Chains A and B, each alone.
Chain A
Amino acid sequence: MTYAIRAEGLVRRFGATTALAGVDLAVPTGTVFGLLGPNGAGKTTTVRVLATLLAADEGHATVGGYDVRRDAHRVRQIIGLTGQYASVDEALTGTENLLLIGRLLGLSRAGARARAGELLARFHLSDAADRAAKTYSGGMRRRLDLAASLVGRPQVLFLDEPTTGLDPRSRSELWDTVRGLVADGVTVLLTTQYLEEADQLASEIAVVDHGRVIAQGTPEELKAKTGGQVLTIRPTDPADLATVVAIAGEAAAASPEVAQTTVTVAVNNPGVLPAVVRRLDDAGVPVAELALRGSSLDEVFLHLTGHRAESDAPTGADLERTPA
C-alpha cells in the first residue's frame, strides 16, 4: 500500500502551549482519512504543517512522497487546501477568484477561464459567476472555496472542517463532492468535530486530543471501542445523584459522568438497562429521564480520554462526585 500522507512524531509549540505533542499519521493513497477531535485538539495545526504553512518543531512529514519542509514547493504543486473559513477574495467575483488561482498555477488565460467555468458549473455557481463573492451565501462561499482548491487538480486535498456552519443540505452536497473526488483517485484528509461526518466519509479515523492521536481505526472499530451506546439517567431529586452514580457505575462496570443533574455512562451490554431500572426501583429513586442512545463524539471522547470533548477540565466524574 502506498501512503499519500505520512507524519511521524510531529511536535509544534506556540509559546507555552503544545499544539501538537507527537502526531503520527499514515493515510493510504486514494482514501478519505478523518481527523476527529474537539476545538483546540490540534487538527488545524496538523493540516497547516502538512500543507507547508507551518513548520513543525520536531518530527517530519511527507505528502505525495515529498518532504513538507525540504520539498515544500513540490508539495504545494500536488495539494489543495480548504480552510476552516472560506478563504476566497470577497471583492472578486466567483470567476475572478478561480481565474486568479488558475493563473497563479500557470494555466494560460484561456485555460484558466475554461477551468473556472467548468468548476463553477460543477458547484452550481454558474448563475453567480459574475457576482462579487461577498454577496454569496455561506454555502456558496464554501463551494467556491472548495472549487478554488480544486483548480490545480490536486492529488491530495486537505479539508479543514469543511462543513462547520453549513446547513444540512449543503453539508450532504459537500459529502457527495468528496465521495466523487475520491472516486477519481484523490486522497482526502478531512478534519471534523462531527463523528457522523467522519463516519459518512472516512475509511479510517484518527481521534486527536491535546495534540496527540489517541485512537485510530475504521469508524466501526472506533464505535465498538466506545461501547456504542450511552445510558442517561436524570433523577427527579438531585439529592439522589450519588445513589444513581453508584447504581449506574456498578451495573455498567464503567465510571459514570455527571453533568448538572444528569448521569451518563457508556454501555456495552444489553443487560445493563433492565438491571439499572431494577436497582433504581429497589432503591426507591424516582427518575425524571432515562434514555439509551447511540454514542456521539462526546461519548467517544468520554470513553477514550475520560473527559468531555468540549472542555479541558479533568474528568467531570471526579469534579461532580465530591459535592454529592
Chain B
Amino acid sequence: MTAATVTAPLAPARRLGVVAGLRHTLTLAWRSLVQIKHNPMELLDLSIQPVMFVLLFTYVFGTAIAGSPGEYLTFALPGIIVQNALFATMTTGFGLNNDLTKGMFDRLRALPIARWAPLAGRILADTVKQAWSVSLLIGVGAILGFRLGNGLLGLLGAFALLLVFSLAAAWISVLVGVLVSEPDKVQIFGFTVIFPLTFTSNVFVPTDRMPGWLQNWVEVNPVTILADALRGLLVGGPVVGPAAKAMIWAVVLAGVFAPLAVRALRRRV
C-alpha cells in the first residue's frame, strides 16, 4: 500500500463517455443480481408468488368462471403475466429506497461514474428478474396445458411489449421509492395500488361479468389493455389495437412519472 497510494491518475479525465456509463450500468446490474446467490429466498419470492397465482386461479376459479381449468388458463395466464410484471416493477423502488436510506446511494454518487448508471443498473437487473418470472409463468402454464397460439414470434412480441410497459411503469416505483421513508412502504404501496388495479381489469374475470358501472373503468384500465395485447400475441386475436393503446399508456406513464421521479430524486439527494 505504501508506494501504491500515489498512483492515482495525475490528470483525471474531465468527462465520462457513454461506453463507460454502460460499463458502470452492467457492473451495477451485476451487483443487484449477484445477491440472489446469498439470498436464495429472493429467487423464491420471484418464483413462488406467480406460480401460486396461476395454480390457485386456474383450479379454484377456473371452472366457475370459464367452465374448465384449461379454458380459464388460456384466458387468465396472459393477464397474470401482466400482474406479475407490475408487482416486479416495485422491486426497483424497493431497492432504490434501500440504497437511499442506507447511504449506499451516496457512496455510488461520490464515485466517478455516470450519474444515470445506478438507476439504469437497477432497472436492467430488474428486467432480468422480470424475464425469469415470465419464463417461469409460461413454463408452468405449458405444463398445465397452455399453448402458444403465435409461436416464438408471438412470445417475443409479448415479451418486448411487456418490457416497454414495465420500463415505463417502473418510474412510478422509482418515484415512490424516492418519496417514502423506508423500503417496506414501497411494498405496501405496491399492494394497495396494484391489487385493486389488476382486479378491476379483465385479467381474472371477463368484463361482461362485472357490474355496468365497473365495466366502464375496466375497459380503459391499462392493465386490461396490456392483458388484451398479450392475449393477442400469446393466444390469438386482435394485437395491433390493444398493443398500440398499451404503448400510448407506456408513453404517458413515462412522460408523467419519469420527470417527477427524477425531480424528486434530485431533491432528496
Contact = CB atoms under 8 A, between A and B. Distances in A.
Interface stretch (A72-80, A232-240, A251-259): A72-80
Interface of A: 48, 51-54, 66, 71, 73-74, 76-79, 81, 83-93, 96, 100-101, 103-106, 118, 122, 132, 148-149, 152-155, 181, 184-186
A93 B39 CA distance: 11
Given A92-B35, A92-B38, A132-B38, A153 B107 contact: no
27 contacts: A53-B109, A53-B269, A66-B12, A71-B14, A73-B15, A74-B13, A76-B111, A76-B112, A77-B12, A77-B13, A83-B103, A85-B102, A92-B34, A92-B38, A96-B34, A100-B27, A100-B31, A103-B27, A103-B30, A105-B112, A132-B38, A149-B107, A153-B5, A153-B6, A153-B7, A154-B8, A184-B1
A101 B31 contact: no
Contacts of B6: 153, 184-185
Contacts of A90: 102
Nearest to A106: B20
Contact of B104 (A73, A87, A106, A186): A87
Given A73-B112, A78-B8, A104-B24, 13 more contacts: A51-B110, A76-B111, A77-B13, A83-B107, A85-B103, A88-B104, A89-B104, A90-B102, A91-B39, A100-B30, A104-B28, A122-B1, A148-B107
B220 interface: no
Nearest to B27: A103
Interface size class of B (residues with CB under 8 A): 35 or more
B8 A118 contact: no
Contacts of A74: 12-14, 112
B211 interface: no
Among A103, A104, A184, max chain B CB count under 10 A is at A104
Interface of B: 1-2, 4-9, 12-16, 20, 24, 27-28, 30-31, 34-35, 38-39, 102-104, 106-113, 269
Contacts of B20: 106
A89 B8 CA distance: 25
Contacts, number: 105
Contacts of B8: 77-78, 152-155
Nearest to B111: A104
Contacts of A73: 12-16, 112
Contacts of A84: 103
Contact of A91 (B35, B106, B108, B111): B35
A185 B8 CA distance: 12
Contacts of B38: 91-93, 132
A81 B108 CA distance: 10
Nearest to A51: B110
Nearest to A180: B1
A84 B269 CA distance: 15
Contact of A53 (B4, B35, B102, B110): B110
B106 A186 contact: no
A90 B104 CA distance: 10
A296 to B, nearest CB: 29
A81 B107 CA distance: 7
Nearest to A130: B38
Contacts of A152: 8, 111
Contacts of A53: 106, 109-110, 269
Given A104-B24, A118-B1, A77 B102 contact: no
A262 B2 CA distance: 51
